[in-house]
A and B are shown apart, each in its own frame.
Chain A
Amino acid sequence: MPKIIAQTGDDAVAEAMRQINPDVVVAYPITPQTEIVQYFSEFVAQGKVKTEFNCVESEHSAMSACIGASAAGGRVMTATSSQGLAYMWEVVYIAASYRLPIVMPVVNRALSGPINIHCDHSDTMGARDSGWIQIFSENVQESYDNTIQAVRIAEHKGVLLPVMVTLDGFIISHAMERFEMLDDEIVQRFIGEYKSEHSLLNTGHPVTYGPLQLFDYYMEQKRQQHEVMKFVPGVVLEVAKDFEKVSKRKYGLFEEYKMDDADFGIVVLGSTAGTAKTVVDKLRDDGLRVGLLKVRLFRPFPAAEIANSLSHLKAVAVLDRSDTFGGLGGPLFEEVCASLFNYQFPEGLRIPVVNYIYGLGGRDINLDHIKKVYADLSEIVQTGKIKELVQYLGVRE
């Protein structure tokens, strides 16, 4: 029987890691991820996991050790945030290019500078092109569920890629919420055993990971990384289906909230989806047909599916919790625009899409901010005009 308990996001992720019982965890603490590793280290001390747990001197070392352990054939996890992710940068790319199924919860926190410890998505957005799979969570439950599913996705024979599971710093990581924890045996059965095809420890069949590839092979390697991403959405859905059987909770590539008959809607990532759903319900009570699309799988970006889901709307707003400074708008905005431009578009139809940058460095986003976004969309639908393509929510002029 699943246990219903109140826990913080960091607690819940640590519990998921306990149930996964990885062979190796190597980590370095950073706010607001610290508690994940702290709680997990208690499980190690209490003998509740068999994990080889290593505290190293930096995130660069943490990811390097994870790469070694994963190439050796272990089931490997770590966790980080913000500067920690930035510090492990060069090895983050290497984990993906070696095709190592490492699972890493990332507690989203703004990148310096100026120095800040609160939530935004600039850290994981920076790693969006690193070749990792990225799955965003809305609340404590999803952070827990996604961490468990990530193991299966990463280790799938047709995938073998590292996965970041993100949860919003403090908003999810430190807020206590009701959450359902599966039984340990169910999680163990769900993830199954991991058997690496090419272990560095297999002296009977020695292999080389990561040889030098210059102009002769580098491009083929990158082409392969591009291709494997195409298999990921199918695997994410397959794993979600199996997960539903054990948890009764449904997951997809994204979540559509009251989208079927919506006239206009917003696209959003992470915890803000929860706030926005409340606004959707309120506006629906007032008779406005509004909807919401919450992206779960950000890398690979399910472009065709999202374009299809939005294609009946008269206007779309994309909410970004990070900026690109010199790009068209926020990173999610750019993805949505590119998707709409390229896929499933009834001929001649153009949907106006606008962008709102919000919540940088933990700036609050409240119901009124989101109401304003829907009000703007309503105006765009009525006038057929976009006043401002990219706006900031909750910033002082």
Chain B
Amino acid sequence: MPEEKGWKDMPRGGMILEPGNARKYETGSWRTLKPVMDPNKCIHCMFCWIYCPESAIIVKDKKMSGFDLEHCKGCGICAKECPKEAIEMLIEEK
């Protein structure tokens, strides 16, 4: 978490002046379950990529290739939507 500003240093009206800074907010720390993909089942249909609310599906060369675990919050939507049941939600080991 970035350091919290006092009211004097905060932009007027709580405005966010820096575009795209949601990336700095690591929603991955919320996770209790972690998605794990089985490459043998995956057909790279991109359903998980469309449904993931955190844009945490990593795509390389048009292929589903894992999860951005700094932002994946473990909601399990990808696992639920995958037509091939290629994603399993496992207990996060801290």
Contact = CB atoms under 8 A, between A and B. Distances in A.
B7 A97 contact: no
Contacts of B16: 207-208, 211
Given A207-B16, A221-B14, 15 more contacts: A97-B13, A98-B13, A160-B12, A207-B17, A207-B19, A210-B14, A211-B14, A211-B16, A213-B14, A217-B4, A220-B5, A221-B7, A224-B10, A224-B12, A227-B7
Nearest to B5: A220
Contacts of A216: 4
A99 interface: yes
Ranked 5 nearest A-B pairs via Cβ: A208-B16, A99-B13, A220-B7, A223-B7, A206-B19
A217 B14 contact: yes
A223 B13 CA distance: 10
A209 interface: yes
Nearest to B20: A206
15 contacts: A100-B13, A207-B17, A208-B15, A208-B16, A209-B13, A210-B14, A211-B14, A211-B15, A220-B5, A220-B10, A220-B14, A221-B7, A224-B10, A224-B12, A224-B14
Given A217-B4, A220-B6, A227-B7, A209 B15 contact: yes
Highest count of chain B CB atoms <10 Å: which of A97, A206, A213: A206
Interface in A93-113: 97-100
Which secondary structure dominates chain A's binding surface? loop
B8 to A, nearest CB: 8
Highest count of chain B CB atoms <10 Å: which of A205, A206, A211, A224: A224
Interface of A: 97-100, 160, 198, 205-211, 213, 216-217, 220-221, 223-224, 227
Interface string B56-90: 00000000000000000000000000000000000
Interface of B: 4-7, 10, 12-17, 19
B14 to A, nearest CB: 5
A213 B4 CA distance: 12
B17 A198 contact: yes
A97 B13 CA distance: 6
B15 A207 contact: yes
Nearest to B4: A216
B10 to A, nearest CB: 5
Given A198-B17, A206-B19, A99 B12 contact: yes
